[in-house]
């Protein structure tokens, strides 16, 4: 089985959970920065070993990240940067994170550059999954509410079934107009506004 495959990673973690005596498994011995798969207290982890002390990475809601001093240890493996998954339901995406580490570490030939790949991978995953700022989220919700309210008005004014109006709703896709009716060759654009509440 190809070890750089999520199926292998998941299978390894399952075996380790079932058998507490199951040893840790190195993902790919050719990597300049060893990646080890393990499990503790029923929680899978990814352990990255290095000679130099890695930079600390803040833990996240579903992943606890610890930095362990292993000295004295095997040459090149003095430090362990350990990513432990707290929610087994997220195991598939956690395996993909492991594959991301391995794929990017393969691109470099020294541990310092490999650690940079780990840091960059984490930063990019965080950016990819970062939620919108609260004020931007509120603006989106306001726009959706205005468009759905307008759908009812459009239905009444044009004597069009509400289902048809919703089918012609293009606002969520970022189209120039919020409602486009190809058969009638016209469109509606909705504008919402807010007023700041003032104390009486």
Helices (H), 19-129: 91-105, 111-129
What does the alpha-carbon distance between residue 117 and residue 17 come to, in Å, rounded to a whole number?
Answer: 29
Q: Is 80 helix (H, G, I), strand (E, B) or coil?
A: strand
Q: What is the mean pLDDT of residues 6-30?
A: 91
Q: What is the mean pLDDT of residues 21-34?
A: 91
The answer to whether residues 49 and 26 touch, using CB atoms and an 8 Å cutoff, is no
Candidates 54, 55, 60, 81; CA nearest to 126 is 60
Percentages of the chain per state (helix, strand, coil), in multiples of 5: 40, 20, 40
What does the alpha-carbon distance between residue 130 and residue 71 come to, in Å, rounded to a whole number?
Answer: 36
Query: Residue 85, Cβ neighbours under 10 Å: how many?
Result: 22
Using a 10 angstrom Cβ sphere, with 0-12 exposed, 13-18 middle and 19 or more buried, the burial of residue 48 is buried
- At 126 the pLDDT is 84
Q: What is the mean pLDDT of residues 116-122?
A: 93
141-152: per-residue pLDDT in tens?
888 888 889 999
156-182: per-residue pLDDT in tens?
888 888 888 888 888 776 677 888 887
Domains and CATH numbers, the chain: 6-129 (3.30.1460), 137-188 (no CATH)
> Is pLDDT of 2 > 60?
no
The answer to whether residues 168 and 181 touch, using CB atoms and an 8 Å cutoff, is yes
Candidates 163, 158, 162; CA nearest to 186 is 158
- At 100 the pLDDT is 95
38-97: per-residue pLDDT in tens?
999 999 999 999 999 999 889 988 999 999 999 887 777 899 999 999 999 999 999 999
- At 196 the pLDDT is 53
- At 73 the pLDDT is 78
User: Is the full-model pTM beyond 0.85?
Assistant: no
């Amino acid at each position: 089985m190809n070890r750089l495959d999520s199926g292998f990673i998941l299978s390894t973690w399952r075996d380790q959970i079932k058998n507490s005596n199951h040893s840790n498994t190195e993902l790919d011995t050719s990597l300049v920065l060893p990646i080890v798969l393990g499990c503790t207290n029923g929680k899978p982890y990814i352990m990255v070993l290095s000679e130099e002390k890695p930079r600390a990475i803040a833990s996240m809601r579903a992943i606890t990240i610890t930095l362990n001093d292993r000295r004295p240890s095997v040459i090149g493996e003095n430090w362990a940067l350990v990513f432990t998954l707290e929610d087994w339901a997220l195991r598939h995406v956690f395996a993909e994170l492991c594959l991301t580490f391995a794929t990017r570490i393969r691109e470099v030939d020294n541990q310092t550059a490999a650690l940079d790949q780990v840091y960059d991978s984490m930063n990019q995953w965080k950016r990819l999954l970062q939620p919108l700022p609260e004020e931007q989220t509120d603006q989106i919700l306001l726009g959706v509410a205005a468009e759905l309210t307008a759908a009812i008005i459009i239905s009444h004014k044009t004597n069009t079934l509400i289902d048809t109006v919703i089918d012609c709703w293009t606002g969520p896709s970022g189209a120039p107009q919020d409602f486009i009716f190809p058969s009638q060759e016209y469109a509606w654009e909705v504008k919402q506004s807010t007023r700041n509440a003032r104390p009486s």
